[in-house]
Structure 1
Amino acid sequence: MKIQGKYNSATVYTDNIDSASLNQLYSMLNIPCFADTRIAVMPDVHLGRGSVVGFTMTCNDFINPHVIGVDIGCGVVAYNLGEQDIDLATFDAFIHASVPAGSNVHRDISKKLVRENHALDALIQKVAPAEHRRILLSIGTLGGGNHFLELDRDRKGNIWLIIHSGSRNLGLQVCRYHQNAARRSIKERFQGAGAFHGMEYMPLKNGGEEYLHDMQIAQAYAEENRDAMAAIIIEGFFKKQPAHCERVASIHNYVNFDDMIIRKGAISAHKDELVIIPLNMRDGCLLAKGKGNKDWNYSAPHGAGRLLKRSETKELISLEDYQKSMQGIYSSCIRQDTIDESPMAYKDATELSGLIGDTVAIVSEMKPIYSFKS
């Protein structure tokens, strides 16, 4: 599907796009900062804050902090643990005791988890000095919302540790700092700048490069956070070294400084690049290999995509149906307060698999045996 706006057009790789997401995309295409780029929107497209989720574009001379949003560097990492015989109740107790989730953080700063990082320290002092200690205590924590931790089994019988998390409070602080800078930039350069309310942008040469610098540090922090959780689990429970395990990682909200493509709710899928695509709590993940499709901006969807708003799930999905959908998967988190993350809140996984053949080849379907989220 081709969508034409005032300054650019976008190719949407699905016909299943709701009117709210379509209107949001039209609004973006009517803003000058999206001109002169190649825009491709993934099949898991849905309404987002600041930008449709599933959005990709090549970089130009402007940057819009609202596109990447507050969860800078959010992504998934997967570690192949090989064949394992796991007591899932014991594993669940270990996770609850060892990996803080929701708004919780570690009690003490671990020198093993938190490495000396002058660039990170300087960034925190700039954007949120009062949060410095808490941001360091957040390394190795899961967070909430759609972030999760699970064990999946692949076609060969191998168990994979899957972790989906982001940059925690640091990403929020970096985003807010530069959104305010973008607002000031718009006021200086335009009359009637209210037309860009909530989507203010700035030139690379006037604030944009500073944002990219800070965002790169936040992206690295998010990756370090996921790997810290993996180390806690792989070393502490499985008595293995993460470095000895096959590792696959896909980042969702970021600028890739190698190909200079912005991705919001999308992942890199260059030729032969291994990627991980989570579907939902019941259906697990897809392990896939990129085909390097330029028309897709060398990208793939980051998941199945939301079908229902979080507010809608409380009215449309019963706890009983949620519990039934998760039968056979060990979880202590199937509760009313996580119903907005139930499998029925997401688009059909089979539909997604049928839409991505031009950009990735599916290597393995990985089915969950354990699921945890806050």
Structure 2
Amino acid sequence: MTIQGKYNSAEIFTDNIDEESIKQIHSILNNPGFADSQIRIMPDVHAGKGSVIGFTMTFNNYVAPTIVGVDIGCGMNAYKIGKREIDLKSLDKFIHKAIPAGKEVRSSPVENPLLESEDLKRLVKKVADDDYDRVARSIGSLGGGNHFIELNRDTEDNIWLATHSGSRNLGLKVCSYHQNKAKEYIRKKFGGSAAYNNAEFMPMNDGGSEYLDDMKLTQEYALQNRYTICTIILEEFFGEKIKNCESIISVHNYINFKDKIVRKGAISAHDGERIIIPLNMRDGSIVARGKGNKNWNYSAPHGAGRILSRSGAKKTVSLEEYIKTMKSVYTSSVNKSTIDESPMAYKPSKEIIRLIKDTADIDFVMKPIYNFKSCE
């Protein structure tokens, strides 16, 4: 499917797309800040708060902070820990105690080289009211929503620890700060911003370069957050050194400074690159290798994609149905507060598996045996 707008067109790699997503895509294509770019929309497309999810584009020297969004650097890390029997009840108890979730942060900061960075301290002072203590204590915390910690079993019975998390509140602060600067640029240049529907943009020489510097540092913060979560679980519960574990890392919301691709709810899938795509908390994750498809912007979907909004899922999915479909997975997180993350809220796994054949070769699909997420 192709959508044509005033300044650009977008190719969409699925026919399963809702009207709100189409409206959001039209809004982008009618925005001059997105001209002169190859725009491709992934199969997990769905409507988002600031931008359509599943969005990719080649970088065109303009930046719109709401495209990458508030969870800068959000992504997934997975670590292979081999064949073993696990006391899942003990693991769940450990994670509840060791990994803050929802709005909670750590009681004291972990040791991490990033926390010694003067650049990070300057960034926090600029965008987060100098609340450096909370930013520091947020490294090693999960967050809420669709963020999770999971154990999966692959087709050879190996266990993988996986976590999906991002830049916590720092990403929100960075996005908000630079979005206000983009609005200032639009007012100065065009005399208003209403026409751009929260996708205000700015050029590299007038705010864009500063945003990229701050975003790059925030991406590293998100990576260190996931790395810390996994290090705590691997070393303190499993007795494994993280550096000795085979790993896969796929980042969802970011600008890749190597291939110059902007991705919002999408992942890099260069030729031979190992990638991980979570489907839902019942069906597990795809492990695949990218094909380096230029027409796909060297990208793949970051997940299955929502088919029900959060409010829609809470209205239509019953708790009984949710509990029943999750019976094969050990979890203490299946309750009314997480119904919006139930498997029924997402597009069918088979659909995503079928649609990614042009951009990735699937190695295997690993199945969850344990899932943890915030119940806030």
- Runs of 4+ with deviation above 2 angstroms: 110-115, 191-194
Q: Give deviations 1:228-276, integer Å, cap 9, x for gaps.
A: 0011000000001000000100000000000010000000000000000
Alignment-derived partner of residue 144 in structure 2: 144
Alignment-derived partner of residue 32 in structure 1: 32
Shift of 1:120: 1.0
Shift of 1:23: 1.1
Would the alpha carbon gap of residues 113 and 86 (structure 1) be closer, same or farther in structure 2, given more than 3 Å must change?
farther
**Is 1:60 aligned to residue 51 of structure 2?**
no
Return the alpha-carbon distance in structure 1 between the equivalents of residues 192 and 179 of structure 2: 18
- State the TM-score, normalizing by the size of structure 2: 0.98
- Between the aligned residues of both structures, percent identity stands at 55
Q: Give deviations 1:137-160, integer Å, cap 9, x for gaps.
A: 000000000000000000111000
Shift of 1:281: 0.4
Alignment-derived partner of residue 356 in structure 1: 356
Contact 1:114 1:136 in 2 (8 A): no
Alignment-derived partner of residue 200 in structure 2: 200
Would the alpha carbon gap of residues 180 and 115 (structure 1) be closer, same or farther in structure 2, given more than 3 Å must change?
closer
Return the alpha-carbon distance in structure 1 between the equivalents of residues 62 and 105 of structure 2: 36
Return the alpha-carbon distance in structure 2 between the equivalents of residues 330 and 270 of structure 1: 34
Partner secondary structure for residue 81 of structure 1: strand
Would the alpha carbon gap of residues 312 and 113 (structure 1) be closer, same or farther in structure 2, given more than 3 Å must change?
farther
Alignment-derived partner of residue 324 in structure 1: 324
Gaps of 5+ in 2: none
Alignment-derived partner of residue 133 in structure 1: 133
Alignment-derived partner of residue 45 in structure 1: 45
Shift of 1:119: 1.3
- State the TM-score, normalizing by the size of structure 1: 0.99
Q: Give deviations 1:297-339, integer Å, cap 9, x for gaps.
A: 0000000000100001111000000000001210001110000
Shift of 1:115: 4.1
Alignment-derived partner of residue 5 in structure 1: 5
Return the alpha-carbon distance in structure 1 between the equivalents of residues 42 and 337 of structure 2: 29
**Is 1:342 aligned to residue 342 of structure 2?**
yes
Q: Give deviations 1:269-296, integer Å, cap 9, x for gaps.
A: 0000000000000000000000000000
RMSD: 1.0
**Is 1:304 aligned to residue 300 of structure 2?**
no
The alignment of Structure 1 onto Structure 2 pairs a total of residues equal to 374
Contact 1:330 1:369 in 2 (8 A): yes
Contact 1:113 1:140 in 2 (8 A): no
Alignment-derived partner of residue 84 in structure 1: 84
Return the alpha-carbon distance in structure 2 between the equivalents of residues 174 and 114 of structure 1: 17
Would the alpha carbon gap of residues 59 and 311 (structure 1) be closer, same or farther in structure 2, given more than 3 Å must change?
same
**Is 1:289 aligned to residue 286 of structure 2?**
no
Alignment-derived partner of residue 264 in structure 2: 264
Shift of 1:113: 7.7
What is the one-letter code of the residue matched to 2:8? N
**Is 1:99 aligned to residue 99 of structure 2?**
yes
What is the one-letter code of the residue matched to 2:373? K
Return the alpha-carbon distance in structure 2 between the equivalents of residues 111 and 269 of structure 1: 32
Choose 115-124 or 208-217, whichever is displaced more. Answer: 115-124
Contact 1:306 1:345 in 2 (8 A): yes
